[in-house]
Structure 1
């Protein structure tokens, strides 16, 4: 055993002595190559997987979808559906002066895509009647009166000049025609995302069939031919969205100004779910302020007839107009049939290409905000209250809800808001809307 070890020792020593120069040169070359790679690897182009995604909507470079903006940057904070506030550009915050002053301390470890450090001067939210103060690493907002949804306002992502952000992706290219955004290209270390925007779902589906995009996102409708095509992958989702399908009544209309007429139409709808998850309130059930103990207007033909008769003496002479978009045509026709059979009224269903303010009854999608504050939607003074609903009790609740920062008290206020709103029935909340993504199996 000892002789064998000695033999290996002398053979190895002899080999090293004979090839010493070659070994030294080779080791030096290898170490030099490793050093060069470490020094210049960041300049070597890396392979990025490219995905071309189609979206429906008309946007500008300032208004493109928030979920895409969030890939590029963040707001001062993030807000979850539960109401939890998360640190983003700000690592901490304080609410002072009974909810009228907000002080945010920035995360000084963050930098923009160009390498510059995040500073208070970079925070460029513009709020009316708000005094802004900036320190070395803090930004302070002083409001004239308490405004509890303020955290939602500062959750909007901040983008610097040239759309620089702090997130995983950076914008490297945008294509604009006549002020309308045609496409956006985002890149991370390993991925390239090319978003292409189309005016209608029909045009986006045509682009998909022609191979212009690899995936379509946020579709409201998929034809049977596409869903049954085995080369496609269809994904349906409603778990991560607070979007629902709603019948809005124009409360200024001669017929629909009557609460009993609106309630009658609500009770007269036989199917309100159409195979989907039922919605009953303008506040999504995932919200901490959701109230399940409200009027649900389950199908009740006798109550519907009784309420309708309070204002409509001759239903057969009454013609209602229901407007909707193409993807909801079948649902609109089903609702119209329920009204005809239950109430004896005539109903004309009309297809429109986009949401319109010129309507008597409108079936469309409604996305509730993360914060339960819906002042701009239902308060009688707001131009964005497109149902023209007016109720002093609702106005007061909406005003109170945004003035207190006590979540327990806010919950009580918004639960009352839902209860009184559903009693007056300015709209019928039907079901959770599904969205669809369509992609090719060849991408897997």
Structure 2
């Protein structure tokens, strides 16, 4: 009898051991190309910040879903007044920040007032410009009164720049982010990786992953061996030129989706000779989008003629306004008094779309007499020199923020563009909630930007994701700049 019991016990142990051996993994290493400058989404423009922290560590009143829809988040529901100016948000209760302190309406008021303050360092301060006042009704209710109706207000509150932070920790979020999300910050090995771990006191549906490491892999050539070796299991934003090495391999999924990344040749509109319309139009005619797309995005980018994603329902196709035409470009330069051409600089940030695209564009502009000196810069330099100080002639960048055509109306923005007619349309758009009217206004705005050749509109950045075939829950598309891990899990 004792022998039989011993055999049964051994069999049970073997079964248990076998079951644990085949249990689904709960850790994940994600490759990202760029290291964030810091970890506070409310104090920086770099997309890399949100790509690590959005929905994972920090949450807002609302959130943007993978199809671009507005979803409840820390606000479980809301009501809107008949005049469209008063929003009353009912907040989830029992929510705690990762340091154990309670989340309540005071934190919402603090966050929104901080974002719209005169001394705000929020990179998207315009998102909050319509707010007149924020009032705490009770610990679970916030009343937000707008100066005027704003059709995009709930969407705006879902941006990474609008996440809710606590007054006690807001000042240290750049190095030690404290949010309310399903993951909490564990460590940041500068230049190497950022690690998040599952939050044990999360108020919502628990995540499946216990640990997620965001591995910084700036070299596209290094991404392939990292993936093939299993050292990194997912690259949500993979180099398009390297996709062929993963396609056809049953170990991986290759998923090609859409982004909100308008890839542009940005132009300093107030710096001579770019302050002349003919010069900017000449540049647009000199650009061969197909060659740029083939060379910089493996042919996967979608051409654009203004600042809106072709996936957007309000997109207007203006790509035919500036067909590739070298003779027309030279003619316009002659009209501008520059028939002998001129020299300029092209500052290129690290992404391959910029570095590869820059070489191609420099060659194309050389054909019409514009001689570009290529200056590679790191992201910190780009943010300082180009984005902040406007110290540049031309640059290439993908604007991955959603529905951001209004950036061309900002007087301190790095394009240095100023058109009262455009500004008037954006002002009217901000007051309009009627979808048909908004569509008309957005069409007019796109046309003005194209006519003014404010920048060289190139293509919509494709989202090329490659990850382990046993992973599920990663986003196919990128309606916002995020790597949302809330639904990610391993399958057996």
Asked if TM exceeds 0.5, the reply is yes
Q: Write the mapping of 1:54-93 to structure 2, written as runs, cut at 5 A.
A: 54-55=31-32, 56-63=34-41, 64-65=49-50, 68-72=53-57, 74-79=59-64, 84-93=69-78
Relative distance call for 1:257 and 1:116 in structure 2 (3 A) is closer
Q: Distance in 1 between matches of 2:196 and 2:329?
A: 53
Relative distance call for 1:79 and 1:214 in structure 2 (3 A) is closer
Partner of 2:456: 428
**Which of 354, 361, 367 is the equivalent residue of 1:335?**
361
- The alignment partner of 1:99 has SS state of coil
Relative distance call for 1:299 and 1:61 in structure 2 (3 A) is closer
Q: What is the TM-score normalised by the length of structure 1?
A: 0.72
Q: Distance in 1 between matches of 2:364 and 2:220?
A: 29
**Number of equivalenced pairs:** 387
Q: Write the mapping of 1:112-151 to structure 2, written as runs, cut at 5 A.
A: 119-121=104-106, 123=108, 125-127=111-113, 128=116, 129-135=132-138, 137-151=140-154
**Cα distance, 1:389 vs. partner?**
0.9
Q: 5+ unaligned residues in a row in structure 2: which ranges?
A: 1-22, 42-48, 117-131, 170-176, 199-205, 472-491
**Cα distance, 1:262 vs. partner?**
0.7
Partner of 1:27: none
Q: Write the mapping of 1:348-367 to structure 2, written as runs, cut at 5 A.
A: 348-354=373-379, 355=382, 356-357=385-386, 358-367=391-400
Q: Distance in 1 between matches of 2:362 and 2:102?
A: 59
Q: What is the TM-score normalised by the length of structure 2?
A: 0.66
**Which of 281, 290, 308 is the equivalent residue of 2:306?**
281
Could you list the per-position Cα deviations for residues 183-236 of structure 1 after superposition, in whole angstroms to 9, with x for gaps in the alignment? 222335642332235383469749948976444442446559966997984735
Q: Distance in 2 between matches of 1:116 and 1:437?
A: 37
2:330 maps to 1:311: no
Q: 5+ unaligned residues in a row in structure 1: which ranges?
A: 1-45
Structure 1 residues 211-220 or 95-104, which shifts more?
Answer: 211-220
Partner of 1:259: 277
Partner of 2:408: 378
Q: Distance in 1 between matches of 2:318 and 2:339?
A: 34
Could you list the per-position Cα deviations for residues 308-349 of structure 1 after superposition, in whole angstroms to 9, with x for gaps in the alignment? 211134325x223333245233432222222223x2343333
Is the contact made by 1:261 and 1:311 (CA closer than 8 Å) also made in structure 2? Answer: yes
Is the contact made by 1:208 and 1:215 (CA closer than 8 Å) also made in structure 2? Answer: no
**Cα distance, 1:419 vs. partner?**
0.7
Q: Distance in 1 between matches of 2:270 and 2:91?
A: 48
Relative distance call for 1:199 and 1:59 in structure 2 (3 A) is farther
**Cα distance, 1:139 vs. partner?**
1.6
Please give the root-mean-square deviation of Cα atoms over the aligned residues, in Å: 3.9
**Cα distance, 1:268 vs. partner?**
1.6
Q: Which has the larger radius of gyration?
A: 1
**Cα distance, 1:286 vs. partner?**
2.3
Could you list the per-position Cα deviations for residues 159-187 of structure 1 after superposition, in whole angstroms to 9, with x for gaps in the alignment? 66784536xx332x511468x99422233
Partner of 1:404: 432
Partner of 1:235: 254
Is the contact made by 2:105 and 2:136 (CA closer than 8 Å) also made in structure 1? Answer: no
- The alignment partner of 1:191 has SS state of coil
**Which of 183, 203, 226 is the equivalent residue of 1:170?**
183
- The alignment partner of 1:155 has SS state of coil
